Amino acid sequence: MEPNLSRYIWRYTSRQQIFILIIVALSMVPYFMSFNLPKQIVNGPIQGVGFETADATQVFMRLSIDLPLLGQVLLFPGIPLERLGMLFALSGVFLALVIVNGLFKFYINTYKGRLGERLLRRIRFELIDRILRFPPAAFKRMKGAEVASMVKDEVEPMGGFAGDAFVTPALLGGQAATALAFIFVQSVPLGFLTAIIVAVQALLIPRLRRRLLILGRERQLTARQLAGRVSEIVDGIHTIRAYDTSNYERAEIASRLGRIFKIRYDIYQWKFMVKFINNFLASVTPFLFYSVGGWLALNGKLDVGQLVAVIAAYKDLPGPLKELIDWDQARQDVQVKYATVVGQFAVEPMIDPAVQVLSTDDTGAQFTPPLATQSLGVTDDGGAAVLERVSLSFAPGETVALVGNGASGADVLAEALARVTWPTQGRVVAGEVDVATLPDAVLGRTLTYVAADSYLLPGTILDNLLYGLKHAPLRPPEYEGAGIEQRQWEISEARRAGNPDHDPTGDWIDYAAAGVPGPEGMHRAVMDALEIAGLTKDALDLALRSVVDPALYGDLAPRIVDLRQALRETLIERDLDGLVVPFEPLAYNPEATVLENLLFGTATGPALQPDAIGQNPWFRQVLAEQGLTDALTTLGQGIATTAIELFGDLPPDHPVFQQLTAITSADLPAFQALLTRLESAGVAAATEADRQTLIRLSFDYIEPRLRFGLLDAGLTERIVAFRRAFHEGLPPALSDAIELYQPDRFIASASLLDNMLFGRITQKYRDGAERIYQTVGALLPSMGLLDRVLGIGLDFQVGTAGRRLSLVQRQRLTLARAVLRRSAYFVFNRPLSALDPRGQDLTTRAVLQHLAARDPAPAVVWVLANAALAPLFDRIVVFDKGHVAQDGTHATLLEKGGIFKELTSA
Amino acid sequence: MLNDEAKMLKRVPLFAGLSPAKLKLLAFTSERVMYRAGEVLFHQGDPGDAAYVILSGRAAILADTEKGPIQVAEVDDNAIVGEIAILCGATRSASVQATTAVEALRIGKDEFLKLLTDFPEMTVEVVRVLAERLTRTTAELTEARSRIRAAGVPV
């Protein structure tokens, strides 16, 4: 990138800069006209010059110009006006000039702003474009937050400066030069004097400011490092807490902030000192005029009139000069910022832009097999050779296992094949072409690389699965009406700022790269990839646990409701019906809470939430009518009594408190006091507050879980009776606050599984939940719902770097993303390291089997974490200390013995 | 219910000396579980993480042999199985399989040990029961030895 900001700005905005300069020059005309006008108004109509008689008139707006040869040309003869008429006419012209000046200013500022913002967009894009082209080694030293703060914050002032980069010096310089020239005209010696002082100012002040620039650079660096440190704290938070080093971090941050404070304070001191000197120099000039000019005048070398004129002219000099010096300060400031940022982004060797050029063509033919290495060597950052003189060739369709212990170099070879690591000696070739020169559009589609830590992007599981297919915008979206205009604006603006105008909202998915004809075939391919990577069950579990908005999934809701009956029958068939207690409108469900049984629905609004419902008038009214107020108070009393009996003398951190959700150890004394009050007066006489507390306590009670023996048949019958009364007279205001359980209706606020079961899984059987999951999983395909439900699982958001998934799920997902692609070469670099040996075995087999069934079968290079799986491959290459130790089929290697035998027998 | 469970626990010798309140707490910290006929409570060789008090039903104790599992004993109401596991971390020395529908209290090792540390009087009571068992076992051993010696076999 151009290291000089001014030149950079000029290169991309020269035409606009010249245009705005012309506009600025034009704007000077009304500006200077408006200067003279107040004097005319005061002298003319107000003080009466030219209106000496009562009916005197003056000509208004007479326009004429003197032209050579033609003499005076009259453009507008003018209108004769009386004194008052003249006053209003001139005032009107004044107002018009004010408006014209304002409009000029408005236009100029908007124009400069737009110019600056476009330039900012260009710089930012160029920086990010460079990140995308950095060599792999650069990322080992780079901190994401520091780079982000450069792109986001540090280049920001450049946009603001770009508009002023040329206009301001031209304007102010012009003004200052005019003033200086005027002084020269009046008196040459005083002119020289002024010029000398101005020169001193112009030379000295920037010199003094050099220190400010150094400080400014330091401020920028320390602020950037602070951003880096903050992100390190976020990334390392678990280690920091686990090792009790949070105070070390606090101390480090505090001292860093201290350093930043010192730098900033220094900047203030210097800034104001420079300002002081600047002001002083500006005032020295009039001092010299008075003293030297006065002396000259006294000696008769200068006449007094001239001196007064010089002093008057000088009045116009310091303003522009000061602003010019300020502008220069701003220029140097952004120039320094710009230079440091550009320096940071000048990483060599940068990947050639041609390598990453976008291509919508089928690029498979540009790749000539075999993929091979020619005396490949890789040296790590510490200078140790991790791979030495490796020459291997991988034929199309061949499956090769790379085995070796931890530091054997097999993983580095896989990285080198995928260009994740660049060779220090030798090269990786496709046919005879060095892969370093192959465009991404060729290698990135012909070769699929998966590592143990491949990155997942924030988004859904499906987004991540399809990510590997988004090479180019193949089908632009269709726009209508205002959308077309918006899109055209986006395109033209992008071009003006040197950005690409590809539409990210279009369909980027390369269906052919997934081996399917179009969007309709994609679903099947995704499901297959999930199955091969062993993710189907995870996706199903995620789906069953999620709460879905039925409106987003078409006729899913009624079909889930239909499933309820089928599921019930299947459970009976499998003799598992005892595992689920279904919701029945006329029966108490012992596995659900008391509140759930009362409402027979889920509270969806705030009014009926457990903590608020006690205050709801309708709820209280029905409770009283059904004679449940006292009954629930007594239930609460029973719970509190038993809880105190059981846990009264337990230490507060005892795990049993976790089983009681409504009572913590801190609450016990309050409940003890409440019970004592109640004992003396009886439940009927309890205060309102005590009653509320106890009723609230009764809400969460589930008899089979707590087994306090407090629910009898009479109470459960009354609770069921309450339901009907509560629902029948439900005030309209509450109709949105609750979603009723109805056997033939989908419950939008419950999970998918709850909707299928329409009941609660009993606590009695230890593995009840797991068996239910199995049964549901087996039932869904026969109901034709498996794919739809899995689709919901695929809509699960994976979070930052996929952290909402387990490590095993992440590795399986990156594998599924890879097998979705139809590439000629697959390079797997210990992709399943987090799985147990059995899982590795099953998944590796499934992947190999799937890939072998393709036509033509791709070549597979697999770095095995577990050498025991090597017999699954056509060929085995054994690595030891960066060298190829053995190379052959499983049978030949076994015969030879040596390292391979050691690895497999260990 | 807890009260019933506490009464059942009272009949288990290991817990017989505990106060009613502590028995109730023990019952509460345990899990009430059900097994159908044929289901397995635990397998031989599993890590021992809980003891089971049979509340109703019968279960067979099975030992794995080369010829497959053979039944070595049968237990029913009030029996406790796997109790050694909650005192020391041994693996299961036999499998237990329900022969009828079984309802049991599952006393988790961690929960039980936590109760023992929180209530020393419980520990004393459990130690007393164990010591009695040890005394009885020692007495039986001495008697067996003397009988063998009387038979003239060198020990």
pLDDT tens track for B62-91 = 888 888 888 888 888 888 888 777 777 777
Distance from CA of B71 to the nearest CA of A (A): 24
Q: Which of A446, A470, A441, A445 is nearest to A457 (CA)?
A: A470
Residues of chain B contacting A709 with CB distance shorter than 8 Å: 1-4
DSSP state of B44: T
Q: What integer pLDDT is reported at residue A788 of this predicted model?
A: 85
Amino acid (1-letter code) at residue A393 = S
List of chain A residues with pLDDT < 50: none
Helix, strand or coil, per DSSP, at residue A133: coil
Q: Find residues 725-764 of chain A whose CB sits inside 8 Å of chain B.
A: 763-764
Backbone angles phi, psi at A13, to 5 degrees: -130, 15
Instruction: Report CB contact under 8 Å: B1, A763.
Output: no
In terms of DSSP bridges, do strands B68-75 and B102-108 run parallel, antiparallel, or are they unpaired? unpaired
Q: Which residues of A614-650 are buried (b: 16+ CB within 10 A; e: fewer)?
A: bebebbeebbeebebbebbbbbbbbbbbbbbebbeeb
Residues of chain B contacting A763 with CB distance shorter than 8 Å: 31-32
Summary mean pLDDT of chain A: 86
Integer CA distances (angstroms), A144 to A25, A140, A219, A699, in order: 46, 11, 19, 50
Chain B contact present for A68, CB below 8 A = no
Helix, strand or coil, per DSSP, at residue A799: coil
On the question of pLDDT at B155 being above 70, the answer is: no
Instruction: Report CB contact under 8 Å: A708, B2.
Output: yes
* Residue range B16-33: mean pLDDT, rounded: 84
In terms of DSSP bridges, do strands A825-829 and A859-863 run parallel, antiparallel, or are they unpaired? parallel
Does ipTM come in above 0.85? no
Chain A contact present for B5, CB below 8 A = yes
Instruction: Report CB contact under 8 Å: A646, B32.
Output: no
* Distance from the Cα of residue A798 to its chain's centroid: 14
Residue ranges with strand state E in A410-451 = 425-430, 433-434, 447-451
Q: What integer pLDDT is reported at residue A291 of this predicted model?
A: 86
Instruction: Report CB contact under 8 Å: A766, B5.
Output: no
CB A155, CB A340: distance < 8 Å = no
Q: Number of CB pairs < 8 Å for A and B?
A: 48
Question: How large is the C-alpha radius of gyration of chain A?
Answer: 41
Chain A contact present for B25, CB below 8 A = yes
Distance from CA of B80 to the nearest CA of A (A): 18
How many Cα atoms sit within 13 Å of A54 on the Cβ side? 0
Q: Which of A856, A876, A595 is nearest to A722 (CA)?
A: A595
Q: Give CA–CA dist A346/A342, Å, rounded.
A: 6
DSSP state of A460: B
Q: Give CA–CA dist B91/B84, Å, rounded.
A: 10
Instruction: Report CB contact under 8 Å: B2, A656.
Output: no
Instruction: Report CB contact under 8 Å: B3, A709.
Output: yes
Question: Residue B98: enclosing H or E segment and its boundaries?
Answer: strand B95-98
Instruction: Report CB contact under 8 Å: B27, A647.
Output: no
Does the bond joining A837 to the residue before it have cis omega, within 30 degrees of 0? Answer: no
Q: What integer pLDDT is reported at residue A661 of this predicted model?
A: 67
The residue in chain A having the minimum alpha-carbon distance to the alpha carbon of residue B41 is A766
